[in-house]
Amino acid sequence: MTRTFSDTHGFARADVTLATWRTAPYNVWAFQNLRDLVPTAEITCAKVEPEEAIAPDSIVDAPIDPGIDGISKVGDFLRHAHTDGLVVMRSGKIVGEYYAPHADVNRPHVIFSVSKSLTALISGILEGQGVIDPDKPVSAYIPEAAGSAYGDATYRDVLDMRVSLDFEEAYLDPNGAFARYRRATLWNPRDPGLPNETLPDFLLSLKKADRPHGGKFTYLSPNSDMLGMLLERITGVRFAELMSELLWKPLGARNNGYVTVDAVGSPRTAGGINVTTRDLARVGELLRQGGAIGGRQIVKPAWIADMTQNGDRQAWIDGGSQLLANGRYRSKWYQTGEADGSYCGIGIHGQWLWVDPSTETVIATVSSQLIPINDAMEKDTISFFRAIGRLAL
C-alpha cells in the first residue's frame, strides 16, 4: 500500500503554508523542504557526491559529563533539543553523526542565522582580494542608501551589528516591522491590504535610531540582508553564484545548497541559506584550519585572526546579551571569550556551527525546535558542545 504524505508526516501537505511553516509540527518537514514554499537560488558544488552517514552508535550512547538538566547521554540530549542532524569532526575527520528518523545526510536544512556567518565569509574572501574596504560607508557602494539608516553607516558597522537602526527583532509579532520584513522576503503570506515590497525596498526604507552608528552591539537581521545586497552590488554577481564560486566549490562541498530569494531575486542572506549538516561542518573545519583546505587558501588567515581575536567587548556588554558572559561579536561570528578560543554561528530554532580550536573539534547541528529563541536551551547547548569536546571519539 502506498503511503501518503499524511501517513508519513502526520499532517497534510496543504497544512504547511507560509503562515504555519515555522511552527510545530510543520517545521520538522518545512525546515528541510523550504524550497517547496519559497523561491530559491541554487548554490552549486563542483560535483554532487551523495554521502552515507556513519552509524550513530558511537555518539548517541556516549555519556554527557556532567549531565545537563538530568540528561546523561548524547542521544537523549539530541532528542530533547529537537535535533534533526548532528556532525562532529575531530582533527578534520567525522567522528560522530546523528540524524533524526525524518532527516537525511544528503538533505539540505535551513540554517537560519548561521547564514549570516557564511555570508560574512564571502565578504571576507572578497576583502582579502581587495574588492571590499570595510571602512567605507555603505552609501559609497549603494548610493541610494543615503536616505536610509544605512546612509552614514560603515560596511564594518553592518558586519558587526553596530548599525543604529529603528527596528525591533520581534520574531513572534504578527503585525510589526518584523512581519513586514518577512513579507518582503516572501517568508510570510502577502497582506492584500498592504503594498507588496521587495527586500531592497524594505531595507532602504529603514530609519536611523536615536543614537550614533558604531555603538553597542544590537542584533538586527536586516543588517545581514544589507550585507548580501552590498555583495551583489559591489561584484555585479548574484549571491548564490558568489557563494558557489568563492566558497562552496573550493570547499569541496558534496551537495548543492540554496538560498531563498524575494520576488526580484534578492537573497535572504540573513537567514535563508540551506545546506547539509556535513557541508556546514566542513565550513567550520575550513576556519579551524586557518582558511585553507587541500593546500588551497580560501579565506585569508588575517581575516580569520581578525574575526576570532577582535570584536569590541564593550559593545557586547552595552548590548546586554546574556548568552556569553565573556563574549564578543565580530564579522557575524560569536566569540565565547573563553580560554579555549571557541567561536560559533547561531541560528534560531537550534541551528549551530561550533568551532573549538583547543580540542580541534567542529560541531554542526540543525534542529526544529518549537520556538525561535530559548535562552535556557542555548546555554545548555553550549554546555553540550563542551561535553562533546571532552569525549574521546
Mind listing the domains of the chain with CATH numbers? 45-126+261-390 (3.40.710.10), 133-228 (1.20.58.710)
Whether residue 269 contacts residue 224, with contact meaning beta carbons closer than 8 Å, is answered with: yes
Distance CA 199, CA 205 (A): 10
Distance CA 85, CA 12 (A): 24
- H or E element that contains 67: strand 63-68
C-alpha cell at 6: 499524511
pLDDT score, position 86: 97
Instruction: Identify any residues that bridge with 289 across adjacent strands, giving them in sequence order.
Output: none
pLDDT score, position 74: 96
Counting as low any pLDDT under 70, the low residues of the chain are 1
Residue 207: closest CA among 252, 167, 237, 239 = 167
pLDDT score, position 65: 87
Task: Identify the DSSP state of 245.
Answer: I
pLDDT score, position 1: 67
pLDDT score, position 170: 86
pLDDT score, position 340: 96
pLDDT score, position 175: 82
Distance CA 259, CA 268 (A): 7
Residue 127: closest CA among 332, 345, 343, 344 = 332
User: Around 207, how many Cα atoms within 13 Å sit in the side-chain half-sphere?
Assistant: 3
**187-219 tens-digit pLDDT:** 999 999 888 999 999 999 999 999 999 999 999
Residue 167: closest CA among 226, 228, 230, 232 = 226
- H or E element that contains 352: strand 351-356
**15-37 tens-digit pLDDT:** 999 999 999 999 999 999 999 99
Catalytic positions are 113
Residue 169: closest CA among 178, 158, 160 = 178
Distance CA 320, CA 166 (A): 17
